[in-house]
Copies of this chain bind each other. A is one copy, B any other.
Amino acid sequence: MKALVTGGAGFIGSTLTDRLLADGHEVVVYDNFSTGRALFLAQARRHAGFHLVRGDTLDDDALRAAMRGCDIVFHLAANADVRYGTLHPRKDFEQNTVATFNVLEAMRDTGVRRIVFASTGSIYGEPRVFPTPEDAPFPVQTSLYGASKLACEGLIEAYCEGYGIQGYIFRLVSILGERYTHGHVFDFYKALRCDCTRLRVLGDGHQRKSYLYVHDCIEGMLCALARAQERINIFNLGRDDYCEVNDSVRWICEALGVQPELEYTGGPRGWVGDSPFIFLDCRKIRQLGWTPQVSIREGVLRTLAYLQAHAELLEERA
């Protein structure tokens, strides 16, 4: 098949691109390189089936041109920066919600009939049920990021219903692994490189989060794509366990051989809209036969090792 991967130069997108190419598919990467990196496409470039289009998801015409002739869209391009949403609400709205509308309109125009969408566990807001299933009680949004992704989900569902498109929506926990470019492991490692004697931790350190290793994530998406054939297929994608921020801090510090004094900013949340407990019920996708292979601890350590080997990634985001 020929796939368009929006955000295909990003963390998850480039890993997916490598996998699709390795499986013998043709891939058009569509990326504006705002956070995507040419470095991540080094392996993909070697394949004859690889195409790169430098474009923005807000550019309707370029998007439509790139999509023509594709069989499926993996829509991964997004503003993934949950924490700073309130500083620039337009960013989540435009880069996530408006962009997804543009992708769907381009699909309608070009006749592409399948879409895979990277949504987020953040759309559950602060859930009341743990682990949180796909049909949890109607959530209240607590972050602009979650709200923008929920809007995308609703649009995709309505387009599936209205135009006979087939949709795959994955509600992801935080993803870890090689090519990871933002999040707590990034922040902690960067801070400890500057000063290994102290570490500022947002919140009280007891926030509980589940994490998933990037290759497990992609395996889950492809498994659902092969085995689930409803018009609208919605899956949580995470692990059956979680850790505290404090656990992750300990693993990172042990791996680096440092013993910083921990300074907690306090409170149960790291920032406004941070959900103090993210733990998704993933039975639905596990029933399709998917099982994650890499533990949270191992995921954190591989992420850290990757960042240690690619210090330039830390510099660029200064």
Contact = CB atoms under 8 A, between A and B. Distances in A.
Contacts of A300: none
A157 B138 contact: no
B136 A138 contact: yes
A144 B157 CA distance: 9
Contact of A272 (B138, B151, B162): B162
Taken together, the copies of this chain in the complex come to: 2
A11 interface: no
23 contacts: A89-B101, A89-B104, A89-B108, A90-B105, A97-B97, A125-B157, A134-B138, A135-B137, A136-B138, A137-B137, A138-B138, A138-B139, A140-B232, A141-B161, A142-B158, A143-B162, A144-B155, A144-B158, A144-B159, A146-B158, A147-B151, A147-B154, A158-B273
Interface string A112-139: 0000000000000100000000111111
A89 B109 CA distance: 12
A37 to B, nearest CB: 29
What are the 10 tightest A-B residue pairs by CB atom distance, in nearest-first order?
A151-B151, A147-B154, A147-B158, A135-B137, A141-B157, A86-B162, A141-B154, A150-B154, A144-B158, A141-B158
A40 interface: no
Task: Give chain A's interface secondary structure class.
Answer: helix
A157 B90 CA distance: 15
A85 interface: yes
A267 to B, nearest CB: 15
A50 interface: no
A99 B118 CA distance: 25
A93 interface: yes
Given A101-B93, A151-B97, A155-B147, A273 B141 contact: no
Contacts of A147: 151, 154-155, 157-158
Contact of A135 (B85, B86, B108, B138): B138
Contacts of A162: 85-86, 89, 143-144, 272-273
Interface string A234-260: 100000000000000000000000000
A86 B141 contact: no
A104 to B, nearest CB: 8
Nearest to A134: B138
B143 A158 contact: yes
Nearest to A142: B161
Given A151-B155, A154-B151, A272 B142 contact: no
Contact of A161 (B97, B137, B272): B272
A273 B161 contact: yes
A145 to B, nearest CB: 8
Given A93-B101, A97-B151, 12 more contacts: A85-B162, A135-B138, A136-B138, A141-B153, A144-B155, A144-B158, A144-B162, A147-B154, A148-B154, A150-B154, A151-B154, A161-B273
Contacts of A125: 157
Nearest to A171: B138
